[in-house]
Amino acid sequence: MRKFFQEFKNFAIKGNLIDIAIGVIIGTAFNNVVNVLVKKVIMPPLSLLTEDVNLHDKVYVLRAATESSEQIAIGYGELIEVLIDFFIVALTIFVVIKFFNKFKDKAEDPKNKEVETPKNIALLSNIEKLLEEQNKILKNQK
């Protein structure tokens, strides 16, 4: 049990837990922004295009309401709104990841002159080249 708590402590201290918590908080805040964007910015013009039909209220009635029972209906309008939310979130995540990958590729590109190779890596590359040349010479002598 002590080992478990030690592993958890190491996990939390190394930043993994903090990174996850920050991601969840930012994701929740972003979800709220997307919800407002869809409900207050995207859906009203869409409602105008569809002759003032509010998609949120669109349902497919399975059983009409009676005096003794409630209406049973499938709310497909709300599903459409959630799908629009999902599409916006997925598109945003795609753009952000593409943006970060572009910077990552630029930083890892060996032909890129903007990123200077650290001196220890350059030195190791030079040593590797010298060893390869030395091996070629030794093979030719045999």
User: Given pLDDT bands bounded at 50, 70 and 90, which one contains residue 79?
Assistant: confident
pLDDT at 7: 80
Integer Cα distance of 10 and 20 in angstroms: 15
Residue 53 amino acid letter = V
- φ and ψ at 103, to 5 degrees? -65, -40
Q: Does the CA dihedral 14-20-25-30 come out positive or negative?
A: positive
Mean pLDDT is lowest, of 27-31, 90-94, 95-99, 105-109, for: 105-109
Q: Which residue has the higher pLDDT, 134 or 19?
A: 134
Neighbour count for residue 37 (Cβ, 10 Å): 14
CA 27/CA 36 separation, integer angstroms:
14
Specify the pLDDT at position 88: 85
Q: What percent of the chain has pLDDT over 90?
A: 1
59: pLDDT strictly greater than 70: yes
Question: What is the amino acid identity at position 81?
Answer: E
CATH superfamily of 2-112: Large-conductance mechanosensitive channel, MscL; domain 1 (1.10.1200.120)
- pLDDT for 34: 84
Statement: residue 142 has pLDDT above 60 = yes
Res 102 pLDDT > 70: yes
